[in-house]
Amino acid sequence: MSQVTQIASFRRVTPGILASARLAMANDVPEVSKAEIAIILKKAAPVLGIDGATYHIMDILIGLSRADDWKGASRPIVAISNAKLAEYTARSVRQVSRCIRRLVEAGIVAYRDSPTGRRFVYRDKEGEIGKGYGLDFTPARVRIHELKRLVDEFQARLNGEQEARRTTTRLARAIVDACDAYPDQAVRWAAELEQIKCRARGLEIEAQELEDLHRRIVTEVTEEAIQHEMSCAGDTHVAPNINTTHQNSFERKNHRPRSNERDSSYEQNDRKAVVLSAEKKSAANHPLRERPRGTRASRSADEVQSEILASVSVGLIRSACSESCEITGRSFKSWPELTGSAEIMRVMIGLSEAAWLDGAGKVGRYAAAAILITVLEKSMRSPEQISSPGGYFRAMVDRAVEGSLHLEKSLFGLADGALKRARDSAS
């Protein structure tokens, strides 16, 4: 049998008040607990436009209701005067009346007025309401599923805006770093970035446009690098270095250009680091050999690099960083191939050329490339966890210099994650 909800004649009836009255007369009322409805109503308050004093009064009314009245055929009716609510909230009676009206028009409370306008509840011996007049929360019970949907949509919208804000900040920083790294294209890229910011079409649209611009920048830089490598590969005016006698080597050393000497020294130092890393692996098997104390703070780049490469191999990097291999189009079968792709990878994470050179100078080119591809892989798999990949790279370099970086743990974790995803996709 439907419940009759009476509205006093002194009230000015609005469509919202009538809608709440119809909800309060519903027969099919979902089962819900007081704790659950309290959480849902508080989460839905921003969607329903309930804030300030209205929210405070709603919280008090929910607290005054009995838990048993929210179950079965009972009606959660709260009988408290506006004067008493004004004392509880330190508001005027008139303001309390307006707040209650907002709750009723929001569709979560209905007026259940007595002929005299007084609010009271009579209960029987079992504690159930025999006769009650006041503020009825039955509309909130009837709308429980709708309110849950509104809360979920509101939370999803907040999460989307937050993610779009993070993406916008990250990509804008990456584009600025790309402008610093490539001054020839900086004017055009900066102008496009400024146009996207000035359009003000919303965070999600701005994030998508910045992502498109960043992808085009990476594509341009990648194509330029590939074309440069292809053009260099076709050069035939340089004579191949095929003489291996000591005399010819001595002559070539005396006539070698300065830039070639510097590149050769880099390669020799990197090869030396790999040899030292192998020696460190063998030394690790002899626990009686002790490392000299007090030398960690003044280590050179070769020593730092040899320590990192002692537990990291190219094969491990290739297994752990599968997405980086795919996006760069490289298989990374050797250390020189990995360092040769450092230019592309640093642009992808928004790392400036100066920061890359500084890191390579501190830990060596091979170790810096290993750190760089690890950061790239992590930023692609979990972009929400790494808001600044460039800063993440610099922090890992600093930890490597201090001797507290365990790069092999990160790589093994990435390799395990790639294996799990492969198994899940196969099943």
User: Is residue 382 predicted with pLDDT exceeding 90?
Assistant: no
SS3 112: strand
**pLDDT value at position 366?**
92
pLDDT bucket at 97, cuts 50 / 70 / 90 = very high
pLDDT bucket at 217, cuts 50 / 70 / 90 = confident
Distance separating alpha carbons of residues 34 and 11, to the nearest angstrom: 29
The predicted model gives 239-259 an average pLDDT of: 40
- What are 103-127's pLDDT values in tens digits? 999 999 999 888 777 888 888 777 7
User: Is residue 232 predicted with pLDDT exceeding 50?
Assistant: no
How many percent of the chain have pLDDT more than 70? 79
User: Is residue 399 predicted with pLDDT exceeding 70?
Assistant: yes
The predicted model gives 66-92 an average pLDDT of: 88
User: CA 173, 175, 176: angle at the middle one, nearest 5?
Assistant: 65
**pLDDT value at position 99?**
93
SS3 247: helix
Is the entire prediction scored with pTM above 0.75? no
Dihedral-angle region of residue 5 (phi above 0 means left; psi in -120 to 50 means alpha; beta otherwise) = beta
**pLDDT value at position 361?**
92
The number of CA neighbours under 13 Å toward the Cβ of 113 is: 14
Task: Tell me the two tokens of residue 115.
Answer: 């002929």
pLDDT bucket at 373, cuts 50 / 70 / 90 = very high
User: Is residue 252 predicted with pLDDT exceeding 50?
Assistant: no
Contact 312, 305 (CB under 8 A): no
DSSP structure class, residue 73: T
pLDDT bucket at 226, cuts 50 / 70 / 90 = low
Distance separating alpha carbons of residues 416 and 419, to the nearest angstrom: 5
Distance separating alpha carbons of residues 353 and 126, to the nearest angstrom: 78
**pLDDT value at position 227?**
55
Lowest mean pLDDT among 15-29, 204-218, 225-239: 225-239
SS3 134: strand
- What are 255-264's pLDDT values in tens digits? 444 434 444 4
Q: Given the DSSP bridges, would you call strands 129-136 and 110-112 parallel, antiparallel or unpaired?
A: antiparallel
- What are 343-361's pLDDT values in tens digits? 888 888 888 888 999 999 9
Residue with tokens 């291996």, as numbered in its chain: 244
- What are 300-336's pLDDT values in tens digits? 888 899 888 888 888 889 888 888 888 777 888 888 8
The predicted model gives 60-64 an average pLDDT of: 90
User: Is residue 95 predicted with pLDDT exceeding 90?
Assistant: yes
**pLDDT value at position 363?**
92
Task: Tell me the two tokens of residue 390.
Answer: 């460039």
pLDDT bucket at 385, cuts 50 / 70 / 90 = confident
**pLDDT value at position 359?**
92
Lowest mean pLDDT among 77-81, 91-95, 100-104, 349-353: 349-353
pLDDT bucket at 98, cuts 50 / 70 / 90 = very high
Selection from 352, 323, 300 nearest residue 418 by Cα: 323
Lowest mean pLDDT among 46-60, 213-227, 232-246: 232-246
**pLDDT value at position 364?**
92
Distance separating alpha carbons of residues 393 and 377, to the nearest angstrom: 12
